[in-house]
Amino acid sequence: MIREFTLNHVWFILAGAGWTILLTAIALFFGSILGLVLAILRQSPNAILRVAAGSLVRIFQGVPLVVVIFMIYFGIAGGGLNVSPLMACSIGLSLFAGAFLGEIWRGAIQAIPAQQWEAADALGFTALERLRYAILPQAIRLSMPATIGFIVQLVKGTSVASMVGYVELMRAGQVVNGSTFDSFTVFGLVALIYLAINLPLSFLSKRIEQVKL
């Protein structure tokens, strides 16, 4: 039975947007931790760690996000464990975010001039203190535009969760479309909500790119 597109549908879609933001936040949180570790490991004097971290990044940059999520979802389920779509998507998106953020931050760390590393050395800092007090604060600032730009990619990436049935913004749109068949209104609204989330981030990213350290 075809129903009218009503305010209830709008609320349902907005709730989906809430889950999109939650999924983004989860992936950003765990992805940042993983990304930081990967970025630091890629500077490691130990060649094995460096290559391992680099390979992980290359794998996630060479395989589609949806395939990664499917592998995790069916891989864990095939092992006999119970896995919710939210869990599978959180893991997949976190790995995805970790790989890309790691690469962005590695670039930023390498962009800090050698003299800054040396100045920290000359003060008697350990390798970790050098990163913590001298290099990372500068690298984080330098990478801000790219990092925020990546958050936009991540928000868009969460739409892939719809393909394993997790009801975020995209899936909510599909559900409503399934009962109203008003595809133009539904997907138009969904697109507008994504724009409302992402446009401010995109503008912020461009804005701080123009501000000098």
Partner 1 sequence: MHFEAVWAGLPLLLSGALKTILYAVAGYAAGLAFAMLLIVGRLAYGSAISRPTAVFVEIVRNTPFLVQAFFLYFGLAKLGFSMSPVVAAVIIVTFNSLAYTVEILRSGLMGVPRGLIEAGESMSFSALQMFRYVIARPMLRATLPALSGQFIIIMLNTSLLSAIAIPELTYEASNLASSSFRPFEVYVAIALIYFTISAAFAGMFALLTRAVTGDWAKVDLARRGIL
Partner 2 sequence: MSLIEIDHLSKSYGAHQVIKDVSLSVEAGEVLAVIGRSGSGKSTLLRCLNGLEQINGGALRIDGRAVTYDKRALRQLRKRVAMVFQSYNLFPHMSAQDNVALAPRIVGKLERKASLDIAHEMLGRVGLSDKHDAYPRDLSGGQQQRVAIARALAVRPEILLLDEVTAALDPELVGEVLKVLGDLASEGLTMVLVTHEIAFARKAASRVAFMHEGRVHEIGPAQDVIGNPQTPELQRFLASVIA
The residues binding partner 2 (CB under 8 A) are 115-116, 118-119, 121-126, 129, 133-134, 137-138, 141, 213
Identify whether the C-beta of residue 108 lies closer than 8 Å to the C-beta of residue 142.
yes
x/- letters, 23..62, toward partner 1 (CB under 8 A): -------------------------------x---xx-xx
Look at the block and give the residue holding tokens 């983004």: 24
Contacted entry of partner 1, partner 2, none for residue 165, CB cut-off 5 to 8 Å set by kind: none
Contacts of 18 (CB under 8 A, 6+ apart): none
Residue type, 106: R
CA-nearest of 45, 173, 27 to 100 is 27
CB 108 within 8 A of CB 144: no
How many angstroms separate the CA atoms of 193 and 18, rounded?
11
CB of 188 to partner 1, least distance (A): 6
Token digits for 136?
Answer: 């990372």
Q: Which two tokens stand for residue 182?
A: 């008003």
Q: Answer for the pair 193, 17: CB distance below 8 angstroms, yes or no.
A: yes
From the list 9-17, 87-95, 137-145, 196-204, the region that binds partner 1 by CB under 8 A is 196-204
- For residues 76 to 105, the per-residue mask of contacts with partner 1, x marking binding by CB under 8 A and - elsewhere, is --x------------------------x--
Whichever of 47 and 114 has its CB closer to partner 2, that residue is 114
Measured from the Cβ of residue 4, the count of other Cβ atoms closer than 10 Å reads 9
Q: How far is the CB of 198 from partner 1 (least distance, A)?
A: 4
What element of type H or E holds 51? Answer: helix 47-60
Per-residue contact flags (x/-) with partner 1 for residues 128 to 167, judged by CB under 8 A: ------------------------x--xxx-xx-xx----
* 186 within 8 A of 180, measured Cβ to Cβ: yes
115 near partner 1, rule: CB under 8 A: no
Q: How far is the CB of 123 from partner 2 (least distance, A)?
A: 4
Chain contacts with partner 1 (rule: CB under 8 A) = 54, 58-59, 61-68, 70-71, 74-75, 78, 103, 107, 152, 155-157, 159-160, 162-163, 170, 173-174, 177, 181-184, 186-188, 190-191, 194-195, 198-199, 202
